[in-house]
Chains A and B, each alone.
Chain A
Amino acid sequence: MSLPVGHYQYDRIDRDFLQARIAEFEGQVNRRLDGTLSEDEFKPLRLMNGLYLQLHAYMLRVAIPYGILDSRQLRKLGEIARRYDRDYGHFTTRQNIQFNWIRLEDTPAILRELAEVDMHAIQTSGNCIRNVTADEYAGAAADELVDPRVHAEILRQWSTLHPEFTFLPRKFKIAISGSPNDRVAARFHDIGILARPGEDGAPVFRIFVGGGLGRTPIIGEELFDSVREEHLLATLEAIVRVYNAHGRRDNIYKARIKILVQAIGVEAYREAVEAELAQMDLERYRLTPEAVAAIRSRFAVPLLEAPSDADAVLAEQRRADPIFDRWVRSNTHVHRDPGHIIATISLKPAGGIPGDATSAQIGRLADLADAYSFGEIRITHLQNVVLGHVRKDRLRDLWLGLAEVGLAEANIGLIGDIVACPGLDYCALANARSIPIAQKLGARFADTALQAEIGALRINISGCINACGHHHAGHIGLLGVDKRGEEFFQLTVGGRAENGAAIGMILGAALPEDETVDAIARLVDCYLGRREGGETFLDTLTRLGHEPFREAAYETV
């Protein structure tokens, strides 16, 4: 069997483990159904297997380690959507996929189907180290310094069923990138890791701790600048040990590592980690070049060959077709190989549901990945899909194939590329609906020429303070709140998750749902009317400050 491009190839141990885990969960489901287990006893067990109970049904969250799938895995997700759900799946802000209409009694069968393609739903819930996320352009981007996927896989193997870290004070999220351009929101994670080459060529890792969104948004602080590869696991082990020992367990709202880091200060946290490292058996955790090479050997490397005129062919096609040219401008990124290009496929059709894809679209994406990108697919934390290695002279054919299934929207990084959590339409925690307001905004700014004119502007929407829609990090953020049973939205501006991470500032009192879209349109008009030169929304906001935007948002006609 050939190795998959982009992700680790399971071996017999991995597969035996999954089968044992499914058998265990099937027994738990049966005991729940016959009443041997109460709901209180069963809930933590189902959550450990990614199964939530939401407003209308069970929801199964399936892990996509570091956001990378192969085409047979994606095809299987489409089959599950068709057979066990209502014909669609929802890609999340943690590079996973959720199915919203799952039956408890079907879950063991679904997990068996997932295991057929080396997938599972472990580490997608519970107070453990969650599925590790990574740069969606890993191993492809021209600006990358270190391909983070091998180390992401090492972190996956280290963290899965880690005996010390199965019952942490709270959930724990790690993101890793190897690019100087942060595409993983590293400083909004419990641990954010940025890899770069060290002086000897081996990677070193800059590590941030204590970042996060949710009820208490905090930008992570640098704990170490240059952790050597051999000490990566020991360092992470020590960081999580300190959190496990000292993180609060008496108050769920103060249990994340960010609260601990803020309480004691990053210097004291660093000292505690160094003290832990000093008494650890470092040899046991040493990540040797041989171990790294063994993991790397289970990834296939794509054979990047392109005709010498691939670039010229693409340039001519762009000249001949302005609609295609607009899509290339917004939806592609520079590949490390001059004959290839990275294509980002928007799951944000105007007026559609951010992150949703039908089983037919999912199946078609798998076919297109086979035809154009070595059968490899990446899911982004911005709820889109990436084909990482597309030959430039074949990009237009890919685009035409995407258009056949409604996936050729030209809006990546623009105002139509809205990030939204499932909100109150599905989520048991939500206070307000995120999707309808995203649909209204998508429809309001549907004109792709207008979106291009507005330029880089990211809107993030969360239906509650848990911030799954990362509203604090949106250039414009919307937080849904409940006021006596009615939906209102609080607006923030100036957030960003990329380099120069910032938390959005609240503009003022929350607005009624039916006034929110108009208020955002006035914010955009304010920016368009007052920008100078080639300023982006954030540039203009930085130059002018918040006041003009606050006045625009709350202007009454």
Chain B
Amino acid sequence: MKRPVRLEPGQKLVLTANRLLDGRTVWWGADGTWDLHIGRAALLDANDAEAALSRAVEQAQHDGVVGVYDAAVKAVTPPEPVTVREKIRAYGPTVHPEFAVETEQ
């Protein structure tokens, strides 16, 4: 079982997953849809995140995503992942600038 994410002051949680069809990294938005851009992710407190995560896991097949989990971000605009791993998932591989997620619509 995944350990709960420990939040530092100024941090929130976001929900993330991979899309079933193409495996792309996606983020759960305030409008209830999954989006390629972390900038549109919903920022959640720890208590809200637990319920949202449960719902997202239940809805994963319907929503076409796999491997749903929560990740800590700095609560700035746009939210900034705390770990290198989540930054790379959010923005794309650092070795191919042409694949940057920010440049995709």
Contacts and interface: CB of A to CB of B under 8 A. Distances in A.
Contacts of B61: 35, 38
A353 B66 contact: no
Interface residues of A, number: 30
Given A33-B20, A35-B61, A432-B84, A56 B94 contact: no
Contacts of A353: 95
A53 B23 contact: yes
Interface string B81-96: 0111100110011111
Interface string B73-105: 000000000111100110011111001000000
A86 B84 contact: no
Interface stretch (A2-10, A102-110, A400-408): A102-110
Interface string A418-449: 00000011100010110110010000000000
A433 B94 contact: yes
Give the bracket for the number of chain B residues in contact with chain A: 20 to 34
A486 interface: yes
Interface string A137-148: 000000000000
A268 B60 CA distance: 50
Given A104-B20, A353-B95, A425-B93, A485 B84 contact: yes
Nearest to A55: B89
B66 A424 contact: no
Given A56-B24, A56-B93, A39 B99 contact: no
A54 interface: yes
Interface string A42-64: 00000000000111111000000
Contact of A58 (B23, B85, B94): B23
A29 B25 CA distance: 20
A39 B21 CA distance: 12
A57 B93 contact: no
Given A35-B61, A424-B85, A485-B84, A56 B92 contact: yes
B89 to A, nearest CB: 5
A147 B24 CA distance: 44
A332 B76 CA distance: 55
Interface string B56-69: 00001100001100
Contact of B66 (A39, A86, A482): A39
B11 to A, nearest CB: 12
A26 interface: no
A39 B83 contact: no
B66 A54 contact: no
Given A86-B99, A424-B88, A439-B95, A53 B21 contact: no
Question: Most chain-A CB neighbours within 10 Å: which of B18, B22, B23, B24?
Answer: B23
Contacts of A486: 84
Question: Most chain-B CB neighbours within 10 Å: which of A353, A425, A487?
Answer: A425
Interface string A477-490: 00000100111000
Given A35-B61, A55-B89, A102 B95 contact: no
B22 A58 contact: yes
B3 to A, nearest CB: 14
A432 B95 CA distance: 13
Contacts of B88: 55, 424-425, 433
Contacts of A102: 23
B84 A56 contact: no
Interface in B17-33: 18, 20-25
Contacts of A485: 82-85
Query: Lowest 5 A-B CB distances belong to which pairs?
Result: A485-B83, A425-B93, A57-B23, A58-B23, A103-B22
27 contacts: A32-B20, A33-B20, A35-B61, A38-B61, A39-B67, A53-B23, A55-B25, A56-B23, A56-B89, A56-B92, A57-B24, A58-B23, A86-B96, A86-B99, A103-B21, A103-B22, A104-B21, A105-B22, A426-B93, A433-B94, A433-B95, A436-B94, A439-B95, A482-B85, A485-B82, A485-B85, A487-B84
Given A55-B88, A57-B23, 8 more contacts: A54-B23, A56-B92, A57-B24, A58-B22, A424-B84, A424-B85, A424-B88, A425-B93
Interface of A: 32-33, 35, 38-39, 53-58, 86, 102-105, 353, 424-426, 430, 432-433, 435-436, 439, 482, 485-487
